[in-house]
Amino acid sequence: MFTRIFGMFALAFALFSTECWAQESNTCFGGDGLSCTNTFSPGVTTGTYDFNNDGRLTVQFDTVLTTFTLTVTVNHTIDPIDFTVFPPGTVCVQYAFNGNRCDQYDFTGNAGGPNGVPVKNVDYQHLITLTLSYLTFRTTHTPAFGHAPGDITTFTEDILTGYSSDPVVSDPTINGKGPGLSSVVALDEPLTGNGTICNLTLNPPGPVYSAAAVPVIEITFQLFNNISCSGTALRDKTARLSLSYDDPATGNVVFPPIVDKEEGGKFHWDNKAKANEYDLSTVGLPTSPTGLRYTITVFSNNASPQSTSFVLAP
């Protein structure tokens, strides 16, 4: 089910130009609940671990200095969550087609670090980007990416940098960055409010934009303290925005860097319109000859995520 959905994306983008999408990567298929091993080298910096119903994890190094193998193993026994870091009530995400179990991903290898994982500034440099896609039928409240650093067997860090929930294919994807590799898990934190994200719109109206003609897309939404989207709209100071697209060459979800005009990347409040607004720059965003489809996801501590999409043409 999981790989079939990604296969449809790959087929849909088959007519795209592939020259600009070429990347140094490899993919292993571990099946459900098994281990999967990729080899990294200075010429191969990205590896995807496809576990079918147990998720799809991509590990991307900025720079690889040596050659090493890296094995990811799915574990259905989840390490404890530190509730001094994560809010009480935080739970691991249950996947849809693996018996509604949670999945923890453990790393081993043949390098010199703990459990054979690669060592920073010896085997690689800079941060490591992790991207995890999975299927779930459970409601997502506030997404988090749990990390148990080093030899710690408790999830004490949230490394989340991006979250995507495609409005057409509802496969959530989380993105995170860290200096090292150790166990990770998809988490769901409880909301601190009882709000609903309503009227998520793009201005100028889409869904197709020319990158040259539309340098900025204004994204707006309203927050209400009810599911009927009625009453007085509220300011949401915790709202965050993620931007993602499906790579035509690999089927992986990619989170490009966002260039915006907002201080600290936060939504600002338009008191006259009673709306939360965000000015998204399209300058420098990847595109394709036939247009590249992007997903915008707004998530918050006050309301469950909401998504919309647009197509960016050259």
Which CATH number belongs to the domain containing residue 42 in this structure?
Answer: 2.60.220
**Which one of 189, 212, 238 terminates a domain?**
189
**Which one of 189, 217, 238 terminates a domain?**
189
CATH code for the domain of 253: 2.60.40.10
Residues 88 and 12 in one domain: yes
Residue 263's pLDDT is: 57
Residues 151 and 248 in one domain: no
Q: How many CB atoms lie within 10 A of CB 257?
A: 7
Residues 177 and 293 in one domain: no
* Tokens encoding 269: 């409040």
**Which neighbouring-strand residues pair with 209?**
312
Q: Dmax over Cα atoms in the chain, in whole Å?
A: 59
Q: How many structural domains compose the chain?
A: 2
**Which neighbouring-strand residues pair with 255?**
none
Residues 185 and 274 in one domain: no
Non-local (6+) Cβ contacts of 36 within 8 A are 28, 29, 30, 49, 50, 51, 71, 72, 73
Residue 21's pLDDT is: 35
- Please state, in angstroms and rounded to a whole number, the distance separating the CA atoms of residues 302 and 216: 27
* Coarse DSSP helix, strand, coil percentages of the chain, rounded to the nearest 5 percent: 5, 45, 45
Residues 178 and 92 in one domain: yes
Q: Cβ(210)–Cβ(263) under 8 Å?
A: no
Residues 35 and 163 in one domain: yes
Nearest residue to 295 via CA among 164, 124, 192: 164
Non-local (6+) Cβ contacts of 8 within 8 A are none
Q: Residue ranges of the chain with pLDDT lower than 50?
A: 1-23
Q: How many CB atoms lie within 10 A of CB 161?
A: 18
**Which one of 189, 220, 247 terminates a domain?**
189
Residue 31's pLDDT is: 74
Residues 150 and 210 in one domain: no
- Please state, in angstroms and rounded to a whole number, the distance separating the CA atoms of residues 25 and 48: 8
Burial class (CB in 10 A: 0-12, 13-18, 19+), 11: exposed
Nearest residue to 164 via CA among 195, 186, 184, 192: 186
Residues 250 and 106 in one domain: no
Residues 140 and 19 in one domain: yes
* Tokens encoding 171: 């496969």
- Please state, in angstroms and rounded to a whole number, the distance separating the CA atoms of residues 19 and 184: 33
Residues 83 and 35 in one domain: yes
Query: Would residue 31 be called left, alpha or beta, if left means φ above 0 and alpha means ψ between -120 and 50 degrees?
Result: left
Residues 173 and 71 in one domain: yes
pTM: 0.86
- Give the range of the structural domain holding residue 236, as residue numbers without chain letter: 196-313
Residues 127 and 19 in one domain: yes
Nearest residue to 286 via CA among 4, 18, 5, 11: 18
Q: Cβ(31)–Cβ(98) under 8 Å?
A: no
**Which neighbouring-strand residues pair with 157?**
147
Residue 151's pLDDT is: 82
